[in-house]
Every structure is written in C-alpha cells, then in structure tokens.
Amino acid sequence: MASKQEPNFPLRLLVDKERNCIVLAEANRDFVDILFSFLTLPLGTLIRLVSKKKLHHPSDEIGCTNNLYQSVENFGSEVFWNHICKTMLLSPRNPCEALCQKLKLKIDDAEPTKYFMCGSCRVGSDVLLSTFLGASCCSCGELMDKEMKLHGDSTEENHGHGGGVFVKAETMYLIFDDLKVVQSSPGNSVRHLLQLGYKNFHKLIEMSPSVGMSEILDLLKQALTSKSPLSDVFLANEESKKMTTFSPKLGPKIVKCIHNSVINLKVTVGKSRKKILYAETEGDFVDFLFSFLTTPLGSILKLLNGNCSMGCVDNLYKSVKDLKDLNPSLFTRPPGTDPLLDPPVASQFGCWRQPLNLFEDETPSYWYGTGVIKNNICYTSKNGVISKKKNLIHNPVDMKLFEPRSPDGTREFAEGFVRRPSLFVVWDDLQVTHLAKTSSISFLQKLNVPLDDLEEHVVSIGETEGLNLLGASLTSKAALTDGLFYLLKKPKEESTA
C-alpha cells in the first residue's frame, strides 16, 4: 500500500540576487495558517521541533531555554511528583490542539490527546478519567489504560470556517523576509515594494519553490533566531546572526495580590565578575522556570507586549494583530479565547504559584454513559461512552478528571511539577541541578571561585522581575544576570550606569 504523500505548498518568491535576499513571498491561506500556528506552540514544543534540525551553532538556540529543557530530560522521574510530570514538560500540550489538527501540514509531533479509564473498577458514582497514559487509578491502584473515544469531539466540527483554521477568507498574502504578513493586493504590493526601494522589477527574479515539512521546520527555527528567515531557508543565507542584548525593564515595587505569587530567591554573586553565578532555591522557582516550557509562544509575546527580540516572531505576532484590526473578517474566532494573540496554557499544564498573569485553559466537563443519543434514539455501548456534551450521553454521570501532578490523582490544586521538599541550584544559563545527592563541599570545589569573592543576596521575584527573567531566558546565555542583576545594584551604580 502506498504511503500517504506529504502535503506541499506553492510559494512565489521575489529575489534580489545582487543583495542575495528575498524581498517578498506570496502564498495562499494554507501556508499562512501554518505560519500563524507557530504562535500556538508551547515553548517546550518549539525547542523539541527546532532540535530536530540538528543545531550546529549556539546562536541557533533559543536563549538558554534549551538548558531548561535539557535539565528536565536529564532528571530522573524521582525529581517530579510522578513520571507523568516529566512527560508533560518535554511534550507540553497545545491549547489549540483541536484547531491545529486541521492544518494541511501538522508540524507539532506530539501525540493527540487520548482518554483513559480504569478497566478494573466498576463504574459507580465517582468515575475517573485521565488524559495521560500510565496514570494509576485512585481507587484500586491499577493503571488507567482502557482507552475511550471521545464522542462529539469538537475536532469533528468545521465551525463554518470555509476550510480555514486561523485565516478564514480565501485570499493570498504577502510575506516579507522578516515574517511581516499583509493581505495581497496590487495596492499593497506597490506600496511595500516602493518602501523597500524598488521602483520596478528589473533587479528582481522569481523563484517558485515547493514547501514541505523540512522547509517549514527550517522556517520555524529561523523565525526564532534570525531576522531574515526566508532568505536563510530558501537562499541558504549563512551570514552570522548577532545575539540580542537583553535590557530588563524597571517596574513598581512588588505588591502581593491574589493572582500572583512572589518568590524569594537566594542568589550568589561573583563580585569580581559582577554576575550571578547561581541561585539556590526550592521547588517554587524551579516550577516557575519549567512552566516556561508549557507556555504557548503567543502568550509569551503578549506578556512581553509583543516585543521579545527573539528572531522575528514579534513581526508574526504584530501581523496577526494588524490584520485583525484592519479586517477581522479574515480570521476565524473560536468562542472564549484568541488562539493566536492570547492562547492560554493547556488545561492541567499550568503552574499555580507563579508571579506572572499566566492562565490555564478552562478544564472542560466530561460525562460517562451507557450509550449515545442520536435523533432521540439511544445506541448502547458495551464499554460505555464519554463526551463533553451531556445531552449526547444516555444515563450521564459526571466524571472526575485525574490530576496528573498529584501522587494520588486527587489533589484539587497541583503544586507545580517537582516534589516538595527539594533543593536545587539554578545556574546563570538556566541549567538546573538537583542537590539531593550532591555534596556542598564538592559543589564549591567544582565552582572553582575564591570563597571571598562570593556574595549572597536575597531577591524577590514579582511580576516585573518574572517578565525580565522570561525575556532574558529567550535571548540571553546568562539569564539570571541579565534578568535579575539590576536588582542588586545600589542607587549610585544605577545613576551612573
């Protein structure tokens, strides 16, 4: 049987051969849908997908978030509440999974959400459902490995969007080298070509490459690390990329509020080098850092006001915003959320105690019954059925959703990902070390710094400090120093800086 052929997308490029750059590209809705879907991908997924392209240069990495991801990979399951937590961080769920399943080319390689019940327990008043394979049933301790099909799943609906996923209208788009996207029209083409300094087509030649998965993943990588991803991918432009210098934003004094948690952090500074060498911390700060991996790119860009200086994804985000302002009818609008400009963290993947205004997607209700109701007729099922829609189920029973980050699956509010109590060291480049079996004397010897050069400080991480740390983690190789060192400066140093 022949294998299913991978979809390819036509792309029309205008190239300035003298400058070896792509001036603009013209593409259809399907290609733009895929570009915009980058904004829905959690940071952990981005790191995993980009690593597929076999990074060869440090400038190709996303700040030092790769070290966070690598730290999770290197930890044993005993560091976390259970083995599921590690899987959640390495393969975070896309909150827009149902929409992204409809893309003509699916770049997210994570497994679609599956549903499991316990095959040993009799169904009673408390019916437990897990969206993670390998969860242990709270009642009998057996694995919840009985897979159930979700009836009436929203992925089966077309929502009347004319086949589009994020972009609804059947139209063409202009995409510039820095991933700015505008609607294609003769007027827009003339205006933007003139702005770029082209009065005619004499210096431009056309290329018509066919774009598949390899090129899309290359574009994703370059979008996160380069200011000219189209030229990099289609012209093999190998000019060196300059690392962005991160500048922390100053904010008001920390004020505790209901929705945000302030984290106190002990940092050790190398006085002679004027940098933070490492932070000594318990679980809250490590959970906060690991929560970056479960946060969608669009949500990160919103937190940073659409400006993170990471590659040119800022332009992609701003393009969506501008296109929606100019012509909102171009876009699909799923109820209750903006899937591109403000995607929530996927349900059950959030970090409750953290200083940023990051919100989890609302956890849906699930119902279990003995059969399905169609056209007022009940069709019974031997194994039972589940659905998010009570009216589709015969003899519906409300289901309790298994909490994956709880040892027994019943904790109402999950306390992050790592076990309590635990002690960690977070290095300046965001490598995380678990200190459970590490000698403090050996640690200091390995540090190889004169003891009288070390100076300890306690800093408080509120919303402003958390945003600075997030921004630095995406663009710097010294995230603690670039994101937090300003807190240690004395007033005189700040005035003369």
Domain that holds residue 167: 9-496
Does a structural domain hold residue 259? yes
The per-residue pLDDT for 491 is 52
The per-residue pLDDT for 125 is 61
Report whether 131 contacts 115 (CB < 8 A): yes
The per-residue pLDDT for 338 is 81
pLDDT-derived band at 55 (thresholds 50, 70, 90) equals very low
Phi, psi of 270, deg, nearest 5 = -90, 105
The per-residue pLDDT for 245 is 65
Does a structural domain hold residue 34? yes
**Residue 443, SS3?**
helix
The per-residue pLDDT for 2 is 42
Give helix 83-90 / helix 43-51 axis angle, nearest 10°: 70
The per-residue pLDDT for 212 is 93
The per-residue pLDDT for 375 is 80
10 Å CB burial of residue 376 (0-12, 13-18, 19+) is: exposed
Does a structural domain hold residue 166? yes
SS3 content of the chain, % helix, strand, coil (to 5): 30, 20, 45
The per-residue pLDDT for 170 is 79
Give percent above pLDDT 90 in the chain: 58
Does a structural domain hold residue 4? no
Q: Please indicate, yes or no, whether the overall pTM of this predicted structure exceeds 0.85.
A: yes
Does a structural domain hold residue 2? no
pLDDT above 60 (res 495): no
pLDDT-derived band at 1 (thresholds 50, 70, 90) equals very low
Tokens 């380069």 correspond to 226
**Residue 426, SS3?**
strand
The per-residue pLDDT for 128 is 87
Among 24-28, 227-231, 419-423, 476-480, which stretch is predicted with the lowest mean pLDDT?
419-423
The per-residue pLDDT for 260 is 63
The per-residue pLDDT for 191 is 95
Where does 83-184 have alpha helices with state H?
A: 83-90, 97-100
What are 333-388's pLDDT values in tens digits? 754 568 899 999 999 999 888 899 888 888 889 999 988 888 888 888 888 899 99
pLDDT above 90 (res 230): yes
What are 417-456's pLDDT values in tens digits? 999 889 999 999 999 999 987 888 888 888 899 999 999 9
What are 88-134's pLDDT values in tens digits? 999 999 999 999 999 999 899 888 999 999 887 766 667 889 999 88
Does a structural domain hold residue 387? yes
pLDDT-derived band at 45 (thresholds 50, 70, 90) equals very high
Domains held by the chain: number: 1
Report the chain's mean pLDDT, rounded to a whole number. Answer: 86
Give helix 65-74 / helix 463-475 axis angle, nearest 10°: 90
pLDDT above 50 (res 240): no
* Average pLDDT, integer, range 387-393: 91
Does a structural domain hold residue 3? no
10 Å CB burial of residue 209 (0-12, 13-18, 19+) is: middle
More confident call, 384 vs 293: 293
The per-residue pLDDT for 247 is 77
User: Is the previous residue joined to 421 through a cis bond, with omega within 30 degrees of 0?
Assistant: yes
> Any bridge partners for residue 368, and if so which?
386, 397
